[in-house]
Amino acid sequence: MHFNGEQQRQSIICFLVCSLKGFTMGELEVEKHAQYILSVEKRKDDFESVVMEHLRMNGAYWGLTTLDLLGKLETVDKDEIVSWVMSCQHESGGFGGNVGHDPHILYTLSAVQVLALLDKLDVLDIDKLANYIASLQNEDGSFSGDMWGEVDTRFSYIAICCLSLLHRIDKINVEKAVNYVVSCKNLDGGFGSIPGGESHAGQIFCCVGALAITGSLHHVDKDLLGWWLCERQVKSGGLNGRPEKLPDVCYSWWVLSSLIMIDRVHWINKEKVARFILDCQDKENGGISDRPDDAVDVFHTYFGVAGLSLLEYPGLKAIDPAYALPVHVVNRIFFGR
C-alpha cells in the first residue's frame, strides 16, 4: 500500500467521525463516473477497447447497470441498445459477445440482464433462449459455457440466474444442478470452479448465488463460510479473493454479495471497505480501478459502485446481491410493477 500507517489512521479517524451520520455525499464522484462510462466510446486506438470488442455485451451490462445505480440510465438510447443486443443473438437462441460472434452462456446472461434493465424482456423469444441454456446442462448437473464443453461453476450460476429471470428454471434439472454446485464445496466452507478447486471469492459468489436463487442455501455452512469471507478483509480495509492475495475492488462485490446472501455481512468492517472503494476512484477523470492509483476500467467501476450500493451508500439505488441487478428491476420481474 502506498499510504503510511499514520496517514491511514488519520484518514480513518476523520472518516469515522463523518460516518456517525452516514457517509459524506460528496465522496462518490457520481457525475464523473457517469461521464466516464458514457465517454468510453469516444476513444480511438485504445488498447483496452480493442481487446474488449468480443465481450462488448459484458461491457454493456457493466456500464448500463452502473448508470442505473447512479440514477443516470435515462441518458441512453434504449431502442438502439435493444436493437444491437438482438443483433447479437444466434440462431441457437444464445447470444454472442458482439455482432457476428458465436453464442456463449456468458454473453447470454449479460444480454438478458441488459434487456431486463431496459424493461424490454418482451422482445425475446424466451423459450428459444431458455432451450439454448438448458441444452448446455451436462449429465452430472454441471453446465458448459458453449458447444466446446468448458465446465465451471460460473456457468451454473449463469444458467440458474438467467432462467430464473425468465421464469423458466423448470427447463433444467435443478436438483442435479444444485448437487453439482454442492460437490464444489470445500472444507473451508468455500467453493471452487470445479470439485477440489481452491475456494475463491468469485466462484463463491457464483455458487452461493446459484444456491440462493434455487432456495438451496441450507447446503451452505453459513458460519464457516461467513468466517472465511470476513477473513478476506485486509488491513487497508479492502477485500481479497483468497488468502494472502492483494485486495481488489471487484472483491468488494463478490465477497459482500456472498456475505449478504448468507446474512453475515455485519462480520466485516463496512466503513473500511467503503473507504477502500472510494480511494480507488479517479476523482478527476471518473472511473474506478482495482486498487488505489491504478488505471480505471468499466469492469471495476461497476464493481466499485455495486459494492457501495450493497453497503447502502446514500444516493445509490439498491442492487440485488443474487441477481446483480438493481432491486427495482428484480421486483419488476418477480412482482410486476
Partner 1 sequence: MDSDEDERIPFSQRAEWSDVKPVSQDDGPNPVVPIAYTDDFRETMDYFRAVYQSDERTHRSLALTEEAIDMNAGNYTVWHFRRLILETLNADLHNELDFIERIAKSNSKNYQIWHHRRWVAEKLGTKATELELDFTRKVLSLDAKHYHAWSHRQWSLQVLGGWEEELDYCGKLIEEDIFNNSAWNQRYFVITRSPLLGGLQAMRESEVRYTVEAILANPDNESPWRYLRGLYKGDTSLLLSDPQVVSVCLKVLSTSMNCVFALSLLLDLLCLGFQPDQEFKSVVESLRTSDSATPDSNLAKTVCSVLERVDSLRSNYWAWRKNNLPSPAVQS
| String marking each residue 154-193 x if it binds partner 1 according to CB under 8 A | --------------------------------xxx---xx
Determine if 150 is a binding residue for partner 1 (CB under 8 A). yes
Determine if 97 is a binding residue for partner 1 (CB under 8 A). yes
* Cell of residue 181, nine digits: 454446485
DSSP 175-204: HHHHHHHHHTB-TTS-B-SSTTPPP-HHHH
Determine if 329 is a binding residue for partner 1 (CB under 8 A). no
Determine if 7 is a binding residue for partner 1 (CB under 8 A). no
Determine if 11 is a binding residue for partner 1 (CB under 8 A). no
The one among 4, 20, 122, 196 contacting partner 1 by CB under 8 A? 196
CA-CA distance, 1 to 4, in Å (whole number)?
8
CA-CA distance, 145 to 193, in Å (whole number)?
13
Determine if 117 is a binding residue for partner 1 (CB under 8 A). no
Q: How far is the CB of 200 from partner 1 (least distance, A)?
A: 6
3-state secondary structure of 270: helix
The answer to whether the beta carbons of residues 328 and 267 sit under 8 Å apart is no
Q: How many CB atoms lie within 10 A of CB 119?
A: 12
Question: How many residues belong to the site for partner 1 (CB under 8 A)?
Answer: 63
Q: Which amino acid is at 122?
A: D
Q: How far is the CB of 66 from partner 1 (least distance, A)?
A: 13
Q: How far is the CB of 26 from partner 1 (least distance, A)?
A: 26
Determine if 218 is a binding residue for partner 1 (CB under 8 A). no
List Cβ neighbours of 2 (8 Å cut-off, separation of 6 or more).
292, 293
CA atoms within 13 A on the CB side of 130: 17
Determine if 122 is a binding residue for partner 1 (CB under 8 A). no
Looking at beta carbons only, is 13 or 187 nearer to partner 1?
A: 187
The helix (run of H) or strand (run of E) holding residue 296 is: strand 296-297
Determine if 198 is a binding residue for partner 1 (CB under 8 A). yes
Ramachandran region of residue 85, left (φ > 0), alpha (ψ -120 to 50) or beta?
alpha
DSSP state of 291: S
The one among 6, 74, 80, 91 contacting partner 1 by CB under 8 A? 80
Burial category of 83 from C-beta neighbours within 10 Å (exposed 0-12, middle 13-18, buried 19 and up): exposed
Ramachandran region of residue 328, left (φ > 0), alpha (ψ -120 to 50) or beta?
alpha
Residues 25-54 that bind partner 1 (CB under 8 A): 40-41, 43-47, 49-54
Determine if 128 is a binding residue for partner 1 (CB under 8 A). no
Looking at beta carbons only, is 74 or 244 nearer to partner 1?
A: 244
The answer to whether the beta carbons of residues 288 and 296 sit under 8 Å apart is yes
The answer to whether the beta carbons of residues 35 and 75 sit under 8 Å apart is no
Q: How far is the CB of 83 from partner 1 (least distance, A)?
A: 7
Residues 228-287 that bind partner 1 (CB under 8 A): 230-231, 233, 235, 242-245, 266-269, 272
- The window from 9-17, 28-36, 120-128, 140-148 that contacts partner 1 (CB under 8 A) reads 140-148
Binding site for partner 1 (CB under 8 A): 40-41, 43-47, 49-56, 59-60, 63, 76-77, 80-81, 83-84, 87, 96-97, 99-102, 104, 145-146, 148-150, 186-188, 192-194, 196-200, 226-227, 230-231, 233, 235, 242-245, 266-269, 272
